[in-house]
Amino acid sequence: MSGWNPQVGPPGWVVQPGYSPPQIPPHQQTRGLSPFGMPARHSWEIPLLVVMVVLTVLAYMFALLLLLTGSLDQYVLLLVFAPLLLWIGRGMTYSTQRVNGVKMSPTQFPEGYRMVQEAAARFGMQTVPDAYVVLGNGQINAFASGHGFRRFVVVYSDLFEIGGAARQPDALAFIIGHEVGHIAAGHVSYWRQLGMFLGPFLPIIGNSLIRAQEYTADNHGYCNRHVGAPTAMQTLAGGKYLNTIVGFDEMADRAPQEKGFFVWIVNAMSSHPVLTWRMWALRDRRKHGQLFLRPAPPQSAQPPAPYGGYPQSPPSGYGSTTTYFPQ
């Protein structure tokens, strides 16, 4: 084989394409109830949302039919003009925060500003929502909303008295993660809220859907700062001054114990999970929080795991007693 060009190769040689490794697929974090990975959506949220949207669409079409036939009723007009009324209400809410609230920034409430940035990054959001602080007058509250393509979080000033570097910043981070989670999960979308417009007129279904959304937001807050969940719940139960003497585990333990028809009614008519059930769900991360029936007591006589613990089998020779190790 003499006389062939080394740059071309011997006769019959075919230039082989260079090696190109396959593209690495983007890493998709699993969704679950642990503080790792991405937060899971409550299992009842989407089914209840579908039911609510279908009922709202049917009611809207029926209202249009009544309007065309000349029936002018206040409820008919309310449903027909629901898109406009919702748009005006969202715009007014957003403008109220813009002109009265203190906008979080690196120089105003920098701790809260950083927590909002971290929560948005934790949930993979492309745009960080605005955040405002408003006068609380003793109220412990926060909410998320939007208008157009803008999304924002509002935190009542009293919540910063449990937050900040000097006291319980983890509780504030959990609450901010909860509110940013509402935005990340799409709960403040105009079209979603329009589809849920009939919710106040259907208290059982509407409130159940809202409770499912709150559990979803709690999952986001738990993923953002799970160590702040107990203090946040203690503050909701006992206030910003007495939260330290509220027993988180003691209240959670009462969830399967408090029973009765009126307990069921109180939960069914509530827009948020009742506190004992909510604390139980934040402690027991094996399954989603209960919407309709109280949490089932443990099957064994062993006490439940303390907050932040998980069961682990002991080494051989130590018997079968379940021990709990902190995460």
Q: Tens digit of pLDDT per residue, the chain (327 long)?
A: 566 676 666 676 666 666 565 565 555 566 778 888 889 999 999 999 999 999 999 999 999 998 888 777 888 888 899 999 999 999 999 999 999 999 999 999 999 999 999 999 999 999 999 999 999 888 889 999 999 999 999 999 988 877 554 478 899 999 999 999 999 999 999 999 999 999 999 989 999 999 999 999 999 999 999 999 999 999 999 888 888 899 999 999 999 999 999 999 999 999 999 999 999 999 999 899 999 999 987 665 555 566 655 445 544 544 444 444 344
The confidence score (pLDDT) of residue 45 equals 96
Answer yes or no: is 276 within a domain.
no
In a domain, 265, yes or no: no
Query: What is the Cα–Cα distance from 167 to 174, expressed in whole angstroms?
Result: 14
pLDDT for 206 equals 94
Domain that holds residue 209: 40-244
Q: Helix, strand, or coil here: 314?
A: coil
CB atoms within 10 A of CB 263: 14
Residue 290 lies in a domain: no
Whether residue 305 lies inside any domain: the answer is no
User: Whose structure tokens read 């589809």?
Assistant: 195
Instruction: Please report whether residue 278 resides in a domain.
Output: no
- Has residue 287 been placed in a domain? no
Count of domains forming the chain: 1
**255 burial level (CB within 10 Å; 0-12, 13-18, 19+):** buried
pLDDT at 73: 82
Confirm whether 29 is domain-assigned. Answer: no
pLDDT score at 284: 92
Residue 326 maps to a domain: no
Spell out the long-range contacts of 100-109 with Cβ–Cβ below 8 A and sequence spacing 24 or more. Answer: 100/134, 101/132, 101/133, 101/134, 101/154, 102/132, 102/133, 102/134, 103/130, 103/131, 103/132, 104/130, 104/131, 104/132, 104/133, 108/133, 109/133, 109/160
